[in-house]
Amino acid sequence: MRMQFWKKTVDDIYSDNPPHQPVAIELWKAVKRHNLTKRWLMKIIDERERNLDDKAYRNIQELENYAENTQSSLLYLTLEILGIKDLHADHAASHIGKAQGIVTCLRATPYHGSRRRVFLPMDICMLHGVSQEDFLRKKQDKNVRDVIYDIASQAHLHLKHARSFHKSVPVKAFPAFLQTVALEDYLKKIQQVDFDIFHPSLQQKDTLLPLSLYIRSWRRKY
């Protein structure tokens, strides 16, 4: 019902008849002001609806598809708000969104495990002979860490691809991509603890993150 509400709400927004709901009204204003593409909003809703059963991803590609349709779609909308229409920026947004989705899945693993749920790609777990129960028991065996290494490496690869477009992406688009700072920070931290996904340091806030964001913004890098 919640997904149906938002589908109808988006349809009504693009018919210039938004419901009297605060978020819907603000979204309608943004759509009017920036001429936002309806497709990106619907992709987010449709993808979330497909994942309401909250099952583990069958493979890394399924996780990447989820991230593309949710995180990357948000970035495409952000680029539209910034007035950016550029193929290289879109490519970078696609890879950054996928990296964001993978890192989010990793970061949430301890939280999901505490509720006896595991969403990590099953193909990579099977490749290393790791079961969901191994994560629920917070095992730190090498094969468990190898699973995390493989998944984190995929996120790192997407960041690397996104940054390969750096010289071609309009500088005006860089603010949309500053989340790469937080993603890179997490990936470095997890490497430092030898890919122990349950290490306490990974759950601590990075007090220097605002400074890192400022420096990266000042240097006009993402």
Provide the 10 A C-beta neighbour count for residue 97: 24
pLDDT of residue 24: 95
Question: Could you tell me where the DSSP H helices lie in the chain?
Answer: 2-13, 22-34, 38-50, 60-67, 73-81, 87-107, 109-114, 122-127, 132-136, 142-163, 179-192, 209-218
pLDDT of residue 51: 85
- The percent of residues above 70 in pLDDT, for the chain, comes to 100
pLDDT of residue 207: 87
Domain 40-219: CATH superfamily, name plus number: Farnesyl Diphosphate Synthase (1.10.600.10)
| 162-201 b/e (C-beta count within 10 Å ≥ 16 → b) | bbebeeebeeebbebbbbbbebbbbbeebeeeebbbbbee
Residue 54 has pLDDT above 80, yes or no: no
- The percent of residues above 90 in pLDDT, for the chain, comes to 86
Residue 162 has pLDDT above 90, yes or no: yes
In a 10 Å sphere around its CB, with 0-12 CB exposed, 13-18 middle and 19+ buried, how is residue 132 labelled? Answer: middle
pLDDT band of residue 216 (cuts 50, 70, 90) is confident
Residue 11 has pLDDT above 90, yes or no: yes
**31 vs 78: CA distance, rounded Å:** 12
pLDDT band of residue 104 (cuts 50, 70, 90) is very high
pLDDT band of residue 205 (cuts 50, 70, 90) is confident
pLDDT of residue 53: 79
Pair of tokens at residue 96: 């950054």
Give yes or no for a contact between 182 and 211, defined as CB atoms under 8 angstroms apart.
no
- The pTM (predicted TM-score) of the whole model is 0.93
pLDDT of residue 130: 96
Helix 60-67 with 87-107: angle, nearest 10 deg:
120
Rg (alpha carbons) of the chain, rounded to whole number: 19
Least confident of 11-15, 53-57, 107-111, 147-151: 53-57
Provide the 10 A C-beta neighbour count for residue 76: 20
pLDDT band of residue 13 (cuts 50, 70, 90) is very high
pLDDT band of residue 122 (cuts 50, 70, 90) is very high
Q: Where in the chain is the domain with CATH 1.10.600.10?
A: 40-219
Nearest Cα to 72, choosing from 86, 89, 49? 89
Residue 186 has pLDDT above 90, yes or no: yes
Q: If you average pLDDT over every residue of the chain, what do you get?
A: 94
DSSP letter (8 states) at residue 201: G
Nearest Cα to 195, choosing from 136, 152, 138, 131? 152
